[in-house]
Amino acid sequence: MSEIDSIAAIATAPGRGGIAVIRVSGDKALLSAQTLCHFTPKPRQVYFKKFYDNNEVIDEGVVIYYQAPHSYTGEDVIEFQGHGGNITPQRVLSAVLKIKGIRQAQAGEFTKRAFLNGKMDLTRAEAVEDLISSGTDSAAKAAMASLDGIFAKTVFELNERLTNFRVRIEACLDFPEEHEDFFDSGTADAELNDILQLTQDSIVKANQGIKLQEGARIVLTGEPNAGKSSLLNTLAGIDKAIVTNIPGTTRDILTANIEIAGVIVTITDTAGIRDNPSDEIEAIGIQKAINEVKKADLILLLVDNSKEPQYCLETLNKILDITDNKENIIIVKTKKDLEPNPKTQELLNSPNFAKYKQTSCSVKQKDGHLELIKEVKQALDIIEVEGVFSARRRHKDALNLAYQALQRAISMLQIGDLVLCAREITICQNHLGEITGKITSDDILGKIFATFCIGK
């Protein structure tokens, strides 16, 4: 396979549907229209034609020719817009792939070519996939913001300001007698701190963008019959879990998705974790619960506020043994509508439990879970920020490294070492370049575009 090959793929989702789009990009795109439709289309005109495989009519529909460079990929592009379904689009694609020099597109290859041909930077390219996979309205808006260039504009502004700063540093190194006004007056310090703050603001927005796209995972755990299934049902708004007074009712993990401030939060109800399961089935459920706890962004340890504790401390110790995220634990006192048990209160006030955030809830009281939602939102650091754009963890990592380089640059500036200050600013700009794709590698591009659907 080569990037100079022409590529083709079905660009619409598989299955029954009114329309299917087969997209062809590359120097053989126009040939595909000539071969299947027996004519040469003019750019940006719409034609209704029959599609042929040799002399057999296999479909009919719309043909559009986008001439390079005025296309999505920057190459010649032909779109065959025919009937949907499982068979007909495949027949049209097969006819296209019979043409010498046209091959099946890989996942994300159309968008990758758009990036390589300078039609979009890497943040916009990734936003295409984020927009397609958005799970909430807020996530779609954030992805659209990145697609419109909000993220790239922020990175460009940072880079421009750093470049201007570096120019002045280089000038001061070449003409040291003229640097006093800029560097000795504190102007340089203030300017770098200003850029540092802008970088910090970008990190906050990127962090929220990541949450909008990735969501968060919450695990409900606790001793058997602590109210985990009842809470899951309340949060989900439907009866997903069987609720009884018999300990150990939940034998398998159950999940529900809820939306908190635009973020999809997956809540998992697990079997109560204890050392002595009642049977082999419960033992399997406990092992599954342990696996879920390891993956959780937030662990809610439920404690029945009305009953004497049995396995609470044991459960907490088990959680601490199996999770690396020991800070993100909230103790949830369930059944707050009932009289609290003195021994339970004593346990919750003990050093083992008192160091964790504690909140109360009741599934019997109206809005008895709202306080819990508020604490969850805070623990997951879900905040409403103006100008949020979609982002990925690699963006946040690059921004953090840029931020650290800026901090070192400020330190070098304060001790008067302009050479090392300029060096740290260069490092900072290199990390920013990784975000937009100005500085990247084939390995990184391969990982990014492998997540795309074929045909995009």
Confidence of residue 406 (pLDDT cuts 50, 70, 90): very high
Residue 184, token pair as written in the block? 């000795």
Taking the C-alpha atoms of residue 130 and residue 418, their distance in angstroms, rounded to an integer, is 41
Question: Which residues partner with 300 through β-bridges?
Answer: 220, 330
| Separation CA 127–CA 152 (nearest Å) | 11
Q: With beta carbons less than 8 A apart as the criterion, state whether 272 and 225 touch.
A: yes
pLDDT score of 52:
96
Q: Are residues 229 and 365 in the same domain?
A: yes
Bigger pLDDT: 429 vs 383: 429
- Spatial separation of the C-alpha atoms in residues 3 and 113, rounded to whole Å: 8
Residue 386 in this model has a pLDDT that exceeds 80? no
303 & 421 share domain? no
How many angstroms separate the CA atoms of 122 and 395, rounded? 10
What value does the mean pLDDT take over residues 179-205? 81
* Residue 246: per-residue pLDDT: 43
Number of separate domains in the chain: 3
SS3 assignment, position 337: coil
Q: Is the pLDDT of residue 419 over 80?
A: yes
The pLDDT, as a whole number, for residue 251 is 46
Q: For residue 48, what are its two tokens?
A: 């209704």
pLDDT band at 16 (very low <50, low <70, confident <90, very high): confident
3-state secondary structure of 148: coil
Residue pLDDT, tens place only, 335-363: 888 888 888 888 889 888 888 888 888 88
Cα–Cα distance between 343 and 284 in angstroms, integer?
31
Residue where the block lists tokens 């754009």:
389
Q: Does residue 146 contact residue 124 with C-beta atoms inside 8 Å? A: yes
Whole-angstrom Cα distance, residue 169 to residue 413?
10
> 238 and 157, same structural domain?
no
β partners of residue 43: 65
35: domain CATH number is 3.30.1360.120
With respect to residue 30, please indicate whether it lies within any of the assigned structural domains.
yes
* Total Cβ atoms within 10 A of residue 440: 15
Structural contact between residues 324 and 334, judged by C-beta atoms closer than 8 angstroms = no
Mean pLDDT throughout 119-136? 86
Please indicate, yes or no, whether residues 256 and 292 belong to a single structural domain of this protein. Answer: yes
Does the residue 1 lie in any domain? Answer: no
Q: Quick one: 88 and 168 in the same domain?
A: no
Looking at the domain assignment, is residue 278 inside a domain? yes
Written as one letter, the residue type at 177 is: E
246 burial type by CB count under 10 A (0-12 exposed, 13-18 middle, 19+ buried): exposed
More confident: 199 or 187? 199
Tokens 């905040």 found at: 383
Q: Does some domain include residue 127?
A: no
User: Of 379, 414, 439, which closes a domain?
Assistant: 379
**Token duo for residue 110:** 């159309």
- Residue 106: inside a domain: yes
**Domain presence at residue 456:** no
Residues 227 and 330 in one domain: yes
The average confidence (pLDDT) of the chain is 84
The three-point CA angle 31-35-38 to 5° equals 110
**160-169 burial code (b ≥16 CB/10 A, e <16):** eebeebbebb
Average confidence (pLDDT) over 311-324: 80
Q: What is the CATH number of the domain that holds 331?
A: 3.40.50.300
Q: Given 67, 92, 119, which residue is the final one in a domain?
A: 119
Residue 84 in domain: yes
pLDDT of residue 289: 73
User: Using H for helix, E for strand and C for coil, what is the string for 185-251?
Assistant: CCHHHHHHHHHHHHHHHHHHHHHHHHHHHHCEEEEEEECCCCCHHHHHHHHHCCCCCCCCCCCCCCC
> Which of the four pLDDT bands, split at 50, 70 and 90, describes residue 180?
low
Please tell me the predicted confidence (pLDDT) of residue 243: 42
Q: Does a cis peptide bond (omega within 30 degrees of 0) precede residue 176? A: no
The helix or strand, by DSSP H or E, that contains position 308, with its residue range, turns out to be: none
pLDDT at 18 over 70: yes
Whether 202 and 69 share a structural domain: no
pLDDT in tens, 35-79: 999 999 999 999 999 999 998 999 999 999 999 999 999 999 999
| Lowest-pLDDT range of 281-285, 376-380, 404-408 | 281-285
Beta pairing partners, 268:
219, 255
Q: Do 267 and 144 have their domain in common?
A: no
The pLDDT of 7-15, averaged and rounded, is 91
Shared domain for 69 and 26, answered yes or no, is: yes
- Quote the CA–CA distance of 273 and 277 in Å, as a whole number: 8
Question: Which H or E run includes 22?
Answer: strand 19-25
**Are 373 and 229 in a shared domain?**
yes
Residues 410 and 445 in one domain: yes
Separation of CA 198 from chain center: 22
**Shared domain check, 402 and 271:** no
Does residue 204 belong to any structural domain of this protein?
Answer: yes
Per-residue pLDDT averaged across 157-184, rounded? 75
Give every CB contact of residue 237 below 8 A, 6+ residues apart in sequence: none
User: Among 320, 350, 379, where does a domain finish?
Assistant: 379
- pLDDT-based confidence at 456, cuts 50/70/90? confident
Predicted model pTM = 0.75
Instruction: Quote the domain boundaries for residue 202.
Output: 137-211+389-449
Select the more confidently predicted residue: 263 or 250: 263
- 199 versus 323: the higher-pLDDT residue is 199
